[in-house]
Each structure stands twice: as structure tokens, then as C-alpha cells.
Structure 1
Amino acid sequence: MKGLTDIEGILVGHASDFEALTGCTVILCEQGAVAGYDIRGGATGTEEMDVMSPFHIAPVVHAIVLAGGSAFGLEAASGVRRFLEHKGVGFPTGAAIVPIVPAAILYDLGIGKANIRPTREMGESATAAATNGPVREGNIGAGTGATIGKALGMKNAMKGGVGSATVNLPGGVMVAALVAVNALGDVVDPSTGRIVAGTRKEPDSKEFASSSALMKQRGPTGGLGRGNTTLAVVATNAKFNKVESTAVARHAHHGLVRAISPVHTSSDGDLTICLSHGKLAASVDAVSVAAAEAVAEAIVRAVRAAKSIGGIPGLAG
């Protein structure tokens, strides 16, 4: 399995700055994909999300951009639009071709160099690098500076990253997910509920402290600010309209609930996007269940592939 690129016509490209510890990930669907989205976190940073609304005139999107750099990282989407415009990919307006490129960011300014963020040029580079090969995971693209388990601060955190997974359904239907994991909470094994990676009890400890328990102890003034976010993109080769794609995106949040604890906090900008890029008939409910499974698996894969960097330990060494 290749991950998100198992869906024909979906390409993935990354660009990373391993000195500044930031980057961006571009999901290309140049022929256009019907999209839906759902936001559950309280600290999102986005651009052009409303083009995926059933009430918006744009029938499809041509790329999705996930980036670090907090709100500054939204600049990367301009590079993707410029790259696609030069290829003649986009929505015809009569006067010009306009690529439809929603973008979402995560906060990675607490690691590496906070004054260096994903740029328009980085967005172009990630787009140019996009392929249908196996999705690269761990410290790459939007996951380059991603961290998890920050209930006791960065000194007790662990490395997050990018992960991708695919679930197969009968009749050749596939549902795949790519997730950039930068959560406040811990990543847990969905089958056991045990912490895979997350908040460490001490900066030099290998023992975990439950982020959920720590959050409850903080009381009513225990907010941690805008410093997190998990971004998930699901793609399927089933044919859906915008309303159906939105339903899948909503259900995909169950994958975050299964694999991250706590999730959807006021300090997280958690969101999900569903791309329908195919012609196969499938039940929305079946694809929705598979989407949640793929997202949960991708989250666990992200932290297991993450390496230590910037003084933050990762499970991959």
C-alpha cells in the first residue's frame, strides 16, 4: 500500500526545511476532485475552505496544501496556485484559469527557527515534487516540525509527523488518508487505548503522563494557547457529490478521536477534508467507516515514523 496515492490521480509532494524545522505537503488532483470538509478544533488556520461547501460555485478542487508556519504558512498555497496556473490547471473564469487550492496550517513555531516559515517557493517545490509513489512519512513536509504530547510543555513533548494509510472495501473501492499530526494530546493505539507516544512525565523519561488527566487537573483556566493541530485528508475512488464528501469528512473525525487523546481542544485546529476522485459506486456510510479507520492508522504511522530532531525525541530514533 502506498497510502493516499493509492487513489488513482492523487499525487503527493513534500518540501521541508530541516534547519528551520518546517515544511509543507501538497496533495494534487489536477483533474479535479469533489471535496468536503469539517472543522472541529478551536484554533484553525485556513484559506479557501469555503470552496468545498455545497453552496459554493466551484465544482472541484485541484490541490490541498498542508503547511507549518502557523498563519504565515498559508503563503505556500500561492506557490501551488502559480504552479498550476502555468500548467493550465484550474477553474475557467473566461478571463483566466484559477486553480482552486484550499489550505490549512499547523503551528510549529516552537521548534526550529520561528522566523522561517513555508513560502510561495516552497509550495511550488512541493507541487513540482508531487508523485504517485508511496507517501513519505515521519519528519517530512507539513510534519517536519510537528510535535505531540504538549500538556507539560515542549520539554516533555515528542515528535509528530506525517502518516498515510489505505483501507480496501469490496468492489475495488479504496479509502486512503494522509494526516499531519501536531496534536496537543497523546497518540494512542486505537485497539488498546494505550499511549504510543505523547507527553513524557519528565524531559528525560520514557514514561508517559496522560495528557487528558493533566488537562483535567488544570481546571477552568488550563488553556495552553494556539500551538497544535492535526490535519487529515481522506481520498476515495468512490464517486460522491459535495454533500456526500462532507459527510465522509465529518465521520473521518472519528479516526482522530480513536487515536488522539485529548482531541479537538481549544488549542487544536483539527480538521478533515474528503476528496472524491473516482467513478465507483459506494455507500457513503461504508466509506465513512473506512475513512475513520484510515485516519486512525495514519496517525499512529506518523508518530512511529517520526525521528528525533530539534531536541524532541521520536519513536523512530
Structure 2
Amino acid sequence: MIPGPRNLITDVPGLIVGNAQDGALKSGTTVLTAAEPFVTSVHIMGGAPGTRETELLAPDKTVTHVDAISLSGGSAFGLDACSGVSDALRQLGRGFPVGDVVVPIVPGAILFDLLNGGDKTWDVNPYRALGRAAFESASDKFELGTAGAGTGALTAMHKGGLGSASLVLDNGVTVGALVAVNPLGSVTTPGDRHFWAAPFEVDDEFGGFGPDPSAGLGYPTVSRKAQVMQPANPDKANTTIAIVATDAALTKPQCQRLAVAAHDGIARAIVPAHTPGDGDLVFGVSTGARVITSDAEPGVIGHAASLCLARAIARAVFLATPAAGDLLPCWSGVHDKS
């Protein structure tokens, strides 16, 4: 397995991603879409998710394909980004056919970034416009770090961000991950230098510092996020939301299993993960371009998705950039990337 040419989820042929953000708001939206609807399911392991249309993605529900997926900041307000995407899709005549009308299917998930120092005194919810702008900017190339849904994200110790990574399997199947990283936990080991995901790094994509040589890791440390958010309760201001995708032809139940397997990547890259105050969620996507040739293949694809997601989480933090009014430092401001 090697990364695709971009090391982005858009290495999966047909998928495109768009970002839109507002620097003053310190928030934004990221949208994944394609020219044709794609099979999608979801698995939620966090205790505090914020979602739209995720019930529809259960394997026993009628609709199998969706037109786009939105990841957004803004907590519950950010779910309106899906409406902006739906507006754009409706104008294009895209959606689920019902009689002589079509209804765009746009699931979404949000992270909490309302206490990150940005200006949240809007009169009109800004996320509908951000969702549409993200959809309309979608391309096979997009920014990582402080961009899109990761613009205002915070981890326990550093700025969070938007991350992505890919792998091409030996049989030619491509797997990719896209993630907005805003967890209660830390993406780095104590001392901030080493990433929990270091054992899975490819080609020094997040610094090449390797695993932390210390033992006894994983015990609770003082969270910078908790300190700067006082007196607010930081246990309720988190979430890591992700999409994993492949061009292998998976069914809707297999896409759910893909999402389940990918959660291992969150647990490998964030400590602690899946807490009651995180809304950790993974969408599983298949474009269906490559036929599955063996019963073992979905398991290999799920493992690859977990590796991509772990790497994407570390890349999100590694690539975050500073901005005026930040509450937490960037990883690059604490440790030189070189």
C-alpha cells in the first residue's frame, strides 16, 4: 500500500472536496461530493453527535446513495450548511427522484467551535452560505490544516484542523480519509512533539519524528483547551468528524462496516477518543467503480481506511496555521517542522 498521488481523499476517482471558511467567525464548512450519487453509511461512537440525515444511512433504510456530505463547524447551527448544499444541488436538478421532483440527499455532521475566540454574533446563520460556497468550490485539490470545517477546531493541546490521506492497495483499489479534528483528547503524546499516529506515518507526512520513545504514555494530562475555555465546560465542546471512502464496490452494509473499522484510526491518533463529550462519527463511502473480487477484500479496505484516518488526523494538526485571536498554539509554533 502506498499513498495516492495527492495523498488526499480525492485520490478516490470521482470524488471532489470544497472548503469555505470565515476568518473572523473562526469556523467553516467542508463538503465532499461527486458527479454521481455514491453509496454511504455511517457509524457513530462519540457520546455527543450533531447530525443530519444519519438515520437514513442505516443499512435497513431505503435510500442507498447520497449526493454530498457536509462536515461543518458551528455546532447545531452548522447543520444548516447542508441546506446550502441542497440549494445548489436542487438548482442542478440533482437528488432522489420522487415523482416529478428530486430531493437532494445531503447528510452532515458538525463539531463544536462556538467558544474558540471567533465572532459568533451573527444575525443570520452563516452556515447555509458557507455550505453552498464549499460545494461550489469543490475540486480534486483542496487545502488542509486551518481550512473548511477545521478552521476553528481545537485539540486538547493545539489547534486542530482539516486533514486527509490516502492509500492505494496492491490490487489497485484506492482508499482515502477526510477529517475535521476537534477532540477532547490530544493528538500528540506528552511533551507535544510526537504524534500518537506516528507508527502509521508515511514519507514524513507529519514531520517524521517517529513514535515517542517514552513508556507509560496515555495517562491524563492537563488540557490547554480546558484551561482556556474556563468557566465553560470543555467536556461538551468537542468532536472528530470524518469520511472514509473507496472506489471498491461496497454495499450499504459494507460501507457501515467500513466506517466501523475506520474508527480504529481515531483511537490510534487521539487519546482519549470516543468520550461522552465527543461526537466522534465516520461516514463510509463507496463510489462503486471497482468490483470486489474476494470476501476478504472489504476487511483489507477497512484496515486501510483506519490507517488513512489516523494519518489524516495527525496531518490536520501538523498543517494548522496561526491566526489572530487563536486560543491555542499550532503544533508548528511549539515544534519546528524541519
- TM-score, normalised on structure 1? 0.87
Runs in 1 of length 4+ with deviation above 4 angstroms? none
Q: Please state how far the C-alpha of 1:224 moved relative to its aligned partner.
A: 4.0
Structure with greater strand percent: 1
CA contact (8 A) 2:66 2:106 kept: yes
User: Does residue 109 of structure 2 align to residue 104 of structure 1?
Assistant: yes
Q: Please state how far the C-alpha of 1:76 moved relative to its aligned partner.
A: 0.9
In the other structure, the counterpart of 1:306 is 320
How far, CA to CA, are the matches of 1:254 and 1:118 in structure 2?
33
In the other structure, the counterpart of 2:26 is 21
Q: How does 1:1-317 map to 2 (within 5 A)?
A: 1-2=5-6, 3-111=8-116, 112-116=118-122, 118-133=126-141, 135-149=142-156, 157-187=157-187, 188-191=195-198, 212-214=219-221, 224-282=234-292, 283-309=297-323, 310-311=325-326, 312-317=328-333
Q: Give the AA of the match of 2:286.
A: S
CA contact (8 A) 1:61 1:99 kept: yes
How far, CA to CA, are the matches of 2:184 and 2:219 in structure 1?
10
How far, CA to CA, are the matches of 1:55 and 1:118 in structure 2?
34
How far, CA to CA, are the matches of 2:218 and 2:234 in structure 1?
12
Gap change, CA 1:291 and 1:128, over 3 Å in 2: same
How far, CA to CA, are the matches of 1:275 and 1:115 in structure 2?
36
Structure 1, gaps ≥5 residues long = 150-156, 198-209, 216-222
CA deviations 1:201-245 (Å, max 9, x no partner) are: xxxxxxxxx884148xxxxxxx84320000110110000100101
CA contact (8 A) 1:185 1:211 kept: no
CA deviations 1:246-305 (Å, max 9, x no partner) are: 001000000000000000011110000111013213411010000000000000100000
CA contact (8 A) 2:21 2:29 kept: yes
Gap change, CA 1:76 and 1:90, over 3 Å in 2: same
Q: Give the AA of the match of 1:168.
A: V
Structure 2, gaps ≥5 residues long = 188-194, 201-205, 208-216, 223-232, 334-338
CA contact (8 A) 2:145 2:163 kept: yes
Gap change, CA 1:262 and 1:99, over 3 Å in 2: same
CA contact (8 A) 1:22 1:118 kept: no
Q: What's the C-alpha RMSD, in Å, of the aligned pairs?
A: 2.2
Q: Give the AA of the match of 2:283.
A: I
Q: Give the AA of the match of 1:277.
A: T
CA contact (8 A) 1:176 1:294 kept: yes
How far, CA to CA, are the matches of 2:152 and 2:75 in structure 1?
11
How far, CA to CA, are the matches of 2:111 and 2:197 in structure 1?
23
What is the percent sequence identity of the aligned residues?
A: 41
How far, CA to CA, are the matches of 1:192 and 1:35 in structure 2?
29
CA deviations 1:165-193 (Å, max 9, x no partner) are: 00110221010000100011111332459
- Paired residue total: 290
Q: Give the AA of the match of 1:190.
A: A
CA deviations 1:82-115 (Å, max 9, x no partner) are: 1001111111111311111001000001111233
Q: Please state how far the C-alpha of 1:315 moved relative to its aligned partner.
A: 2.1
- Aligned residue for 1:78, secondary structure, equals helix
How far, CA to CA, are the matches of 2:179 and 2:59 in structure 1?
24
CA contact (8 A) 2:184 2:235 kept: no
How far, CA to CA, are the matches of 1:110 and 1:131 in structure 2?
30
Q: Please state how far the C-alpha of 1:131 moved relative to its aligned partner.
A: 0.7
CA deviations 1:128-180 (Å, max 9, x no partner) are: 100122x310000000000001xxxxxxx410000100011022101000010
